[in-house]
Amino acid sequence: MTALREVGILGTGSYAPERVLSNHDLEKLVDTNDEWIVSRTGMRERRLVSEGQATSDLACESAKRAMEDAGVGAGDIDLVILATVTPDHLVPSTACILQARLGLVNASAFDINVACSGFVTGMNVAKSLIAAGAYNRVLVIGAETMSSILNYKDRGSCILFGDASGAAVLGPYAGQGKILDMHTGADGTGGMSMVVPAGGSRKPCTPEVVAADEHKLVMKGNEVYKFAVAKFKDLVVEQLARTGYKPSDIDLVIPHQVNLRIIESALSRLDIDPARIYINLDRYGNTSAGSVPLALDEARRAGRFQSGSLVSLVAFGAGLTWASSLIRW
Ligand SMILES: CC(C)(COP(=O)(O)OP(=O)(O)OC[C@H]1O[C@@H](n2cnc3c(N)ncnc32)[C@H](O)[C@@H]1OP(=O)(O)O)[C@@H](O)C(=O)NCCC(=O)NCCS
C-alpha cells in the first residue's frame, strides 16, 4: 500500500459583501435594541449581499483570492468542494457554477450541506482525498447568503447571521499549514433545532408556504446554545487528547463565530487564554460556512499566527454537525 501524503494549506482568501447591517438598522426591522444584541451575542454589525448578489458571487471572490495566495492557476485545481446551506439554486450545485465561472476545466465539483461545520468538514474531506493521492489541488470554499433564508420578522434568529465567504487551496504539504489532526461528526436526532421547513421535497414552496414564511430559518435558540457550548469544549478536549498537545501549546483557536457568550462559556471550561481566541463576530455576525474560513484568512493576514504556530479550527452547526482541525502553520 502506498504511504499517505502529508497535506497542507497552500493559500487562503475571503470576501464579505460591502453592505453593512448594524444593530441600529435591525431596530428598525424588529423589536430589538443594540444593548440587547451586544450583551447576548457580542455582535454589532453584519454584512449583507446587495440586490442580485448570490452565494456563488461571494464564493468567486474568496476563491480567486485563495488561488492567487496559493500561486495556482485555473488549470491546476482538480476538485472544488463548496460548503453552503444557501446555494444559488437547488440544482445545479453552486460548486459547478463556480467551476464554470473560474474556468476550472480540470476540476470535479460538488457542494456539501453541513451548515456552520461546512468549511472545516470540506477541508477534512479534501485532506483525506489528497493524502490518498486521489487529487492534488483542492479548492475548499465556505460561502453563505444567510440573508436569503432569514426571517426578518423573527428577532430571535435574524439578528445573529450575516453573509460572507472564505476559501483555501489544499495540496500536498509544501512547508506551510500542515494539517495534523481532523475530526467530523453528526447527530441527526437534533436536526429539527435549526430547520428551513419548506422549499425541499418534504414541503415544496407554494404561495401559502411563502405567506407563512416556512421557507425561512426556524431555530430553537436555547437548544442550540447548550449544544454549541458543550460541543465546542468537547472538540478542543478531544483534539488535544488525540494529538498529545496541552491547551497552552495552542497559539490560536479559530472557532465558528457563533456568539461571544457561547465562546466565552466554552472557554471557561477550557484552560485556554482568551487572548488566544480569534473573534470577528462583532463585525460579521455568524456567517455559517463562511465563518471559519473568513476568520482564518483575516487572522492570518493580520499576523495573528505565523509559520510554526499551532492553530485549532473548531466548528459546529445545524444537522447537528461538528468538525475540527489542528494545523501546524
Ligand atoms: C438566540 C439567543 C441569542 C437568545 O438569547 P437568550 O439569552 O437565550 O434569550 P431567550 O431566547 O431566553 O429570550 C430572552 C428574552 O429575550 C427576548 N428576545 C429574543 N430575541 C431578542 C432580540 N433580538 N431583542 C430583544 N429581545 C429578544 C425573548 O423574546 C425573551 O423575552 P421574554 O423573556 O419576554 O420571553 C441564544 O439563545 C443563542 O445565541 N442561541 C444559539 C443560536 C445560534 O447561535 N444558532 C446558530 C448555531 S450555528
Q: What is the CATH number of the domain that holds 15?
A: 3.40.47.10
Probe target for ligand 1 pocket from 31, 33, 222, 226, with the most ligand atoms within 8 Å of CB:
222
147 part of a folded domain: yes
What angle (nearest 5°) sits at the alpha carbon of residue 206, between those of residues 205 and 209? Answer: 80
In terms of domains, do 189 and 301 share one? yes
Sheet holding 7-15, edge to edge: 108-112, 79-83, 138-145, 163-172, 7-15, 178-186, 321-328, 310-317, 252-255
Mean pLDDT of 39-56: 97
C-alpha cell at 34: 443594540
Q: To the nearest whole number, what is the mean pLDDT of the chain?
A: 97
How far, in Å, CA of 176 to CA of 172, rounded? Answer: 10
Quote the Cα angle for 249-251-254, to 5°: 120
Is residue 84 in a domain? yes
Peptide bond into 92 cis (omega under 30): yes
The verdict on the CB of residue 258 being under 6 Å from ligand 1 is yes
User: Which of the following is catalytic: 23, 151, 256, 280?
Assistant: 256
Shared domain for 162 and 219, answered yes or no, is no
Domain boundary among 175, 193, 219: 175
Please compute the mean of the pLDDT values over residues 3-18 and round it to a whole number. 97
Tell me the pLDDT tens digit for each residue of 138-178: 999 999 999 999 999 999 999 999 999 999 999 999 999 99
C-alpha cell at 263: 465562546
Enclosing H/E stretch for 177: none
> Within a domain: residue 63?
yes
The answer on 199 and 159 residing in a single domain is: no
- Among 175, 208, 240, give the residue marking a domain's end: 175
Alpha carbon nearest to ligand 1 atom 47, residue: 317
| Whether the CB of 191 sits within 6 Å of ligand 1 | no
Residue nearest atom 14 of ligand 1, based on CA coordinates: 156
In a domain, 59, yes or no: yes
Q: Is residue 58 predicted with pLDDT exceeding 80? A: yes
Q: What is the pLDDT of residue 1?
A: 62
Q: Between vectors from CA 16 to CA 225 and to CA 120, what angle results, nearest 5°?
A: 50
pLDDT in tens, 204-236: 999 999 999 999 999 999 999 999 999 999 999
- Candidates 23, 116, 215, 280; catalytic one: 116
Checking if the pLDDT of 131 tops 70, the result is yes
Ligand 1 atom 30: residue of nearest CA: 156
Q: 283 is in which domain, residue-wise?
A: 180-328
**Where residue 271 falls among pLDDT bands split at 50, 70, 90?**
confident
Is 292 in contact with 277 (CB distance < 8 Å)? no
Q: Is 256 a catalytic residue?
A: yes
Q: Identify whether the C-beta of residue 118 lies closer than 8 Å to the C-beta of residue 84.
A: yes
Known catalytic residue at 116: yes
Best residue among 24, 40, 150 to mutate for probing ligand 1, ranked by most atoms within 8 Å of CB: 40
Residue 1 lies in a domain: no
pLDDT at 2: 74
Query: Does the residue 93 lie in any domain?
Result: yes
137 plus 236 within the same structural domain: no
Query: What's the pLDDT at 189?
Result: 96
Same domain membership, residue 270 and residue 195? yes
Distance from the alpha carbon of residue 41 to the mean position of ligand 1, in angstroms: 9
Cell digits for 209?
Answer: 408556504
Q: Tell me which of 108, 141, 175 is where a domain ends.
A: 175
Q: What's the domain count of the chain?
A: 2
Contact at 8 Å (CB) between 290 and 164? yes
User: Which pLDDT band holds residue 268 (cuts at 50, 70, 90)?
Assistant: confident
